[in-house]
Structure formats: structure tokens, C-alpha cells
Chain A
Amino acid sequence: MIKYILERIMIGIVTMILIITINFFLLQLLPGSPFNSEKLTTEQIEMLNEAYGFNDPLPVQYVRYLSKIVQGDFGISIINTNIPVADLIYGKLPHTIKVGGLALLIGAVIGLFLGSVAALNRNSFWDYFTITVAILGVSIPGFVFGAVLQLFFGLKLDLVPIIYKIGDPRSFILPAVALAYPIIASTARYMRTELVEIFNSDYILLARAKGLTRRAVVYKHAIRNALIPVITVLGPATIVLIGGSTVIERIFGIPGIGNLMVDGINTRDHFVILGCAIFYSLLFIVILLIIDVIYGVIDPRIRVSGGMKN
């Protein structure tokens, strides 16, 4: 297992280097410059470009950037008066993690629950409800859903704050639900399909033929097997979270990484964009690693093939 994890970490590092490289060069294609203000004269812009090293040949800039990253320096924000990007991200991180983590939790728990209930009661009200949720989840964009939530639960019913407020846990609820929604949909759909298939499998028939109760058959045999493939959904779910967070953080005014990145893009704040992209990639890779480890723990077949001795 240790060997397996180390292998994964190595792959992760290579992936990160690739991602940084690709992002670095792609960013050069972005039109405009951080020094776009009308108050600046051409000479001033030229000076600034020189000062930030943007006049050096690209390969030089690239190597400089890489060597700084190795030292933990992600460059500085040009717009936010030279605050280090790492500090900026670190400051915004708690908000993104709080809302994103809550969303992942809500998404997984409700999704698994709905999917299981639907599979256990095929063609019942809850089955159709779940199917509807799943379809809406992939067809309604997050910002529309977020706005509907604000309108209904915030304005009409006045149950929760519309806008994110630091230190008010109630204000996390709406953005977390809006973010969780597509995850609920995909998890529920996947869990339902998986369980329905498992109910038709031979080992479930054998479990029934042993005379086990329906409960025992469902909990001890079906659910555990269904969870294995469903865990893989959490990978794509993180992408959804990352993508969604940029939009949802805007709508709810959350001072998180998503907002930081969107602001960075709008102002061509070079190192902020790169820093956020690297952060998101790292997050994704770490989550994939965690999923792999969980996989190994619950699926005995992986444990052996992945090099873990029992």
C-alpha cells in the first residue's frame, strides 16, 4: 500500500509540472495586460513590464517561475499591491473550503440516500423524485439554481441570509446547497443504477437463498458493493465543485479562491491566475489520491493488485 501511494504521489508531481507548464504558456495567449489603466503612460507601462520581468524571453520567465515555485514562492499579485499570491490564496482558502466541504458532504450524503431509496423502491414516488432531481441536476446551471434558492429561501421565505457573511454559519447553507446540487444529482443517479444492477446479481440471489432478511441483504451485501464504483463519482464531483465555486462564490459574494481567480482573470493579474490554477489542480490531484486510498481500503480486490499485502 505504501509503495502504491508513493507511486501515486510521483505521478501527481509529474502531472503538476505538466499543468504548470501548460497553464504558463496558455496564459500568454490571454489578450491584454495587467497594466491597462488609462492613467498610465506608455513609458510607465514599459517600466512596469521591465520591473516585473515581462520583457524577458518566455523561456527565461518560465524557468524563473518554476524555480520560485520550488521555493514555495508563487509570485506576487500585481493588482493587490504586491501581496504574495500564496498569502492571498491562504487567506481566501477557509471560505472556499468551508462552503466546498459542506457541499461535498451534503452532496454525497443526500445523493447516496436518494439513490438507495430510489433503487429499493423502484417506480415509487421517491424513485421518480430522484430521477427528476438527477435530470434537473445536469440540465439547470448552478447559477440559475443558486439564484432560485436566493429568491425563494432568502427573499420570499426569509429563512437564511442571501449573501455570505463571515462568521454567520447560516449564510453558508444556500451556497453549499447550490454547489451540492449537481453532486446530489450525479451521486443519486449513479447509486441507483449501481444498486439496481447489484440487486440482479448472483451473489444477492445467494444471500437471499441463505434466508437472510431483506435488511441484511441490502446493508451487508448490496450497499457496500454499490459504494465502490460510486466513490469514483467524487472525482468528477470535485471538478464540478471547483467549476461551480467560481460562479457560486460570485453570486453569494463569498471571498474565496473562485472569486480571487475570476478577479485575477478580469484584471489579467498574471501570477494570481496561475496560482489559483495550480491550487485547484493540486486540490484535484490530492482528492483523487484520497479516493484511490479509500478504494483500496473497501475493495479487497484492489488491495492485492495495487501491491498491498494482506
Chain B
Amino acid sequence: MAKKILQVKNLQVSFETHGGEVQAVRGITFDLHEGETLAIVGESGSGKSVATKALMGIIASNGQIKKDSSILFEEKEITQLNEDELQKVRGKDIAMIFQDPMTSLNPVMTIGKQIMEGIIKHQGLNRSEARQKAIELIELVGIDQPDKRFKQYPHQFSGGMRQRIVIAIALSCNPKILIADEPTTALDVTIQAQILELIKDLQAKTGVAVIFITHDLGVVANVADRVAVMYAGKIVEIGTSDEVFYQPQHPYTWGLLASMPSLDTDDEALYSIPGSPPDLLNPPVGDAFALRSQYALKIDHEQEPPFFKITDTHYAATWLLHENAPKVTPPSVIQKLWAEGGK
């Protein structure tokens, strides 16, 4: 297996608000290997964006990475870096693409300038060299007439084109990690596919490792080598794509998969997980999903489940995997998946 370039251990992020401390990320641990794509999935508010912003040190000013958290990038402990050192990592080693291309570009600065900024800062090129590089990048992300486009402003670009530009900016300094935070959610379906293709294509060319955040499990199946499922600020299950899709173990993963439209081959109405995610001001004890789960055991309400190892790459945090747990029958769609996956 490829080298680990990022090791996240027990990452905790909290926000100070009028209501108290919002524990948005509550101790997540995962590794990222060179060149791979790790998808992070989970409902809205589960902490996907906060966790990944923390990796670059760009969480909102009322937020804080708690002590005991560790983010090891190559040899650097990101949580210990000061602002100056962080600036050298941002955009150069770790870059990010955001959800809404309509708002991610500065409306009063030319596209060219916005691409050049990072190049000048990180690569020590002079203006004309940076300009050359920016034009090459515009071409690389599949936009015609790069010389003309270089001088234009964001409002002269469509949503899909703007996302291409944001991707060009992200890849301008050959980062080792690209964080894509729902990069296709705001685009219409045909454009979504193009942007996904572009990311996959550029990843193949550059070997950048990608953390891909999404709600869309269909996209996950398409792009990810591994999948982490997040719920209420924690990772509840992590494994290879095949493992998470065909041998899901956590009831929350079951719920997510069962509510995927393409899996709903039966006549019954589309499944949706009952209830809503817990309040992160006062996160519940035990398994945070227990309150919404028909498979919850008594211990789920009392004690937080540890990660149970299923294979070398597949882990899930549910007491159902404990040797003394009663055998439960997952929903029929999940049983079907298990059967397909050969379990």
C-alpha cells in the first residue's frame, strides 16, 4: 500500500457560540495515502466540512482545534503550526475546492489574477512566468481560448466553468492533497459528470490524493477508493468502497445506503432515516445514532462503541459487532447487498 501522507488522530473541533460549545467534530481518526481518493459521506451537519477545513487551519474564527488532536502531514504537525507556517502549507501542499462555484471566486478580480496569486506566492515565479503558467492551467482544465479567458471576470463564466477555474487554482501549485468539498452539488447533472471526470483525470495525471466530500453515494461509488461515513462529528464506519458498499456494518451506513434512490428496487417508497441528527451543543452519550436506530442495544445509550475491526481496511464503531451482541437482521436491501458482495 502507498505511503501515508496524512495521519489524523482524534481530531476534535469546537465552536464557541451564544448557546455554548458546539462540538462539531468529536474525535476522528483516519489516514490518507498517496494518490488515493477517500470519500467522506454523511448527513448535513455531520462535520465533514469543519473536519477538512481544520486540516488547512481555515476554520471560522469562533472555532478551535482542541488539544490532543493531531494532524500529521508528512513530517509536520499541522495543529502546532503558526499562521505563517500554515500559509506555506495552504494552497501549496493542501488545496481545496468548495461547493458553490458561483460564490467561490472574487467577483471584481480577473480570473487570471486569481489563478496567479497562489503561483506567485508559492512558486516564486515572476509575473510573466506566473501568467504563462496560469494560461496553461486554464487550458489544462478544459477551457478554450485561455488567453482571452485569462482577462475575464467570474461573471463571464458559467457555473461549470467557474468550478474548472477553482480546480485550476487548487492544482496550480501541485498540491499533495486536494480537498473537494461537495464540488458538484451546485451544478446540474451533465456538468457534474464533466467536473468529476476532470478531477479524476487530473488526479491520474498528477497523483494528488483527494478527500472527496459528498452527499451523493452514487458519486462515491464512481470516484472513491475508500469511504469514511461520518455521523454527528464522528466517523462511524470506514473501509474500501467495496467494503462499505457491499458489507456495511453500521446501522447508520445501512440507513444511508437504503435511502439511496438507485438501490430502492422494491416497490416500497424511498427509505429515509427517521428522526434528525443530534444537537452538537449536547451530544448524546454512547452511540450518537442509537436514538434513531431500530437496531440500538441498551449499551448503545450508555457507552460509546469502539472501532471493531472487520478486515485490515474495514472498521465500524457499533456494538453490534461485539462478540456478545445479539445477531440482528439488517434491512432487506442491505441483505441483498451483502449477498451481492459475497458475504
Q: Which residue of the partner chain, among B56, B95, B106, B155, contacts A207 with CB atoms under 8 Å?
A: B106
A-facing mask of B117-147, CB < 8 A → 1, else 0? 1100110000000000000000000000000
B98 touches A205 (CB 8 A): yes
CB of A38 within 8 Å of the partner chain: no
Interface size class of chain B, counting residues whose CB lies under 8 Å from the partner chain: 20 to 34
Cβ contact of B118, chosen from A210, A299, A301, cutoff 8 A: A210
> What does DSSP make chain A's interface, helix, strand, loop or mixed?
helix
Which of B28-36, B86-94, B214-222, B277-285 interfaces with chain A?
B86-94
Which of chain A's residues 251-310 have a Cβ closer than 8 Å to chain B? 298-301, 304
Does A203 contact B58, Cβ atoms closer than 8 Å?
no
A208 to chain B: closest residue by CB: B58
How far, in whole Å, are A295 and B272 apart by their CA atoms in the complex?
49
Chain A: how many interface residues by the 8 Å CB criterion?
Answer: 25
B2 contacts A by Cβ under 8 Å: no
**With contacts A205-B58, A301-B153, A301-B155 known, is A212 near B117, CB below 8 A?**
yes
Q: Which residues of A contact B98 (CB under 8 A)?
A: 202, 205-206
Q: Is B21 interfacial (CB 8 A cutoff)?
A: no
Kindly supply a per-residue 1/0 record for chain B positions 170-213, scoring 1 wherever the CB is within 8 Å of any chain A CB and 0 otherwise.
00000000000000000000000000000000000000000000
In chain B, residues 81-120, which have Cβ atoms closer than 8 Å to a Cβ of chain A?
A: 83, 86-92, 95-96, 98, 100, 103-109, 117-118
User: Quick check: is B169 within 8 A (CB to CB) of the other chain?
Assistant: yes
Cβ-based interface call for A213 (8 A):
yes
Question: Do residues B87 and A213 form an inter-chain contact, with CB atoms below 8 A?
Answer: yes
**22 A–B contacts, CB within 8 A, in A order:** A201-B103, A202-B100, A203-B107, A206-B96, A206-B166, A208-B90, A209-B95, A209-B96, A210-B90, A211-B87, A211-B88, A211-B90, A211-B91, A212-B91, A212-B121, A220-B109, A224-B109, A225-B106, A228-B108, A300-B107, A304-B155, A304-B156
Given contacts A208-B58, A220-B117, A225-B106, 9 further A-B contacts (CB under 8 A): A206-B104, A207-B117, A209-B96, A211-B86, A211-B87, A211-B91, A220-B109, A224-B108, A224-B109
A residues apposed to B, CB below 8 Å: 200-203, 205-214, 216, 220-221, 224-225, 228, 298-301, 304
Which residues of B are in contact with A by a Cβ distance under 8 Å? 56, 58, 60, 83, 86-92, 95-96, 98, 100, 103-109, 117-118, 121-122, 153, 155-156, 166, 169
